[in-house]
Amino acid sequence: MADHHRPMNRNLHESSSSSPSTRQIVRFLTAATIGLSLLLLSGLTLTGTVIGLIVATPLMVLFSPVLVPAVITTGLLTVGFLFSGGCGVAAATALSWIYRYVTGKHPIGAEKVDYARMMISEKAKELGHYAHPQSQTTHQTTTPDY
**Given this model, what pLDDT does residue 83 score?**
96
Q: Are 60 and 67 in contact (CB under 8 A)?
A: yes
| Residues lower than pLDDT 50 in the chain | 1, 12-16
Q: Measured between alpha carbons, how far is 90 from 97 in angstroms, rounded to an integer? A: 10
Predicted pLDDT at 50: 92
1 in Cβ contact with 8 (< 8 Å) = no
Given this model, what pLDDT does residue 2 score?
A: 52
In the prediction, which pLDDT does 118 show?
A: 93
**Integer Cα distance of 98 and 94 in angstroms:** 6
> Quick one: pLDDT at residue 63?
85
pLDDT tens across 106-123, in order? Answer: 889 889 988 999 999 999
Q: Can you tell me the distance from the alpha carbon of 90 to that of 96, in angstroms, rounded to the nearest whole number?
A: 10
